[in-house]
A = this chain, B = another copy of it.
Amino acid sequence: MRAAFMYGAGDVRIDTVPDPVIQQPTDALVRVVTTCICGSDLHPYHSMPAGEASPMGHEFIGVVEETGGEVSTVKRGDLVIAPFAWSDGTCEFCREGLQTSCLHGGFWATGGIGGGQAEAVRVPLADGTLVKAPVGEDSELLPHLLTLSDVYGTGYHAAKRANVGPGDKVAVIGDGAVGLLAVLSARQLGAEQIVLMGRHKDRTDLGRAFGATDVVTERGQEGIAKVRELTGGHGAAKVLEAVGHMPAYEQAIGVVRAGGVISRVGAPQYEDAPVGFASLFGANITLTGGPAPARAYIEKLMPDVLSGAVQPGRVFDRTISLDQTPDGYAAMDRREALKVLIRQS
């Protein structure tokens, strides 16, 4: 089969590799129908040392081709959504809805498991991992359903971890796909005011369509002052940080209200950060967030996607074939595309 591999910064190629096969009785073999490129795929695209090839992609919808003997919840022919982490669905963390900490789970494209930017994927622990979608593989809803693999669940996680609820004043940092879907999620959860911080008009326009009440294009101290002014002078009680770089963290500290919450879902590209009296402690700020247990949210978020009440797939603004994947990375890297959808032919 064909699959995307990264060989180093800026170097993505489509290789032909052996087809995956069932290895464990809990495996399913899934033919990928649609996948996409994640903002987080750009981190190695910027910094990966040249050398070994790494499979890519962690968001996909596909059709089950074959299942191991112990798989019972999905069967051949089912259209399934794969969350960005695979998990057993039975351990104590899965039962609590924290599948990204599954005791037996893991992540795509690591440890001998392939990536989603491929023609097919061996899915470990299929019963715990996959969720059947009640549509056909030609459904126009597929782009929207695909966001349940990661970006929509991740935006939703940001809002849930911040405990966004009716009447809240929320600031969202970052106008990437996750930030925009954090806006949509905050709106779904009843936020009254949603200030989106972002500089790309086409993206912030989509943010307004998703429910942002205000857009702040300024950065740094100017942006902080603007957000604080918009939110009554003392900052936003809930800040959703959907970037992962240090300036976004600093922005979050700047705009959060005393007693408020900073919820991070952009994978931090730093290890140490200010958390002392002057940043978090003195004003009783809570720092929360992490990798979204997308699996936990799929069933909850799917009905509104199926009904058309929300259209999270609007974050996809370019569609390519698997062979065009290297161009897709380049387009996202140059910010010519917000998020690239890959359709298998």
Contact = CB atoms under 8 A, between A and B. Distances in A.
13 contacts: A92-B234, A93-B258, A101-B259, A267-B281, A268-B281, A272-B274, A273-B276, A282-B290, A282-B291, A283-B290, A284-B288, A286-B286, A288-B288
Contact of A264 (B96, B268, B281, B288): B281
Contact of A283 (B92, B101, B267, B279): B101
A284 B92 contact: no
Nearest to A264: B281
A289 B284 CA distance: 5
B270 A273 contact: no
Interface string A70-108: 000000000000000000000011001010110000000
Interface string A259-275: 10000100110111111
Contacts of A271: 274-279
B234 A284 contact: no
A278 B271 CA distance: 7
B259 A96 contact: yes
A212 interface: no
A290 B281 CA distance: 4
Interface string A36-53: 000000000000000000
A235 B204 CA distance: 41
A171 interface: no
A280 B281 CA distance: 16
A279 B275 CA distance: 13
A270 to B, nearest CB: 6
A274 B268 CA distance: 11
A260 to B, nearest CB: 10
Contact of A258 (B101, B234, B278): B101
A271 to B, nearest CB: 4
B291 A281 contact: yes
A332 interface: no
A164 to B, nearest CB: 15
Interface residues of A, number: 36
Interface of A: 92-93, 96, 98, 100-101, 161, 234, 258-259, 264, 267-268, 270-291, 293
Nearest to A275: B273
A90 to B, nearest CB: 15
A21 B40 CA distance: 62
Given A93-B258, A268-B276, 9 more contacts: A101-B258, A270-B276, A271-B276, A272-B272, A273-B275, A281-B290, A281-B291, A284-B288, A287-B288
A281 B288 CA distance: 8
A121 B272 CA distance: 41
Contacts of A270: 276
With most chain B CB atoms within 10 A of its CB, the pick from A264, A278, A279, A290 is A290
Contacts of A273: 272-273, 275-276
A329 B277 CA distance: 24
A290 B275 CA distance: 11
A268 B259 contact: no
B275 A287 contact: yes
A89 to B, nearest CB: 16
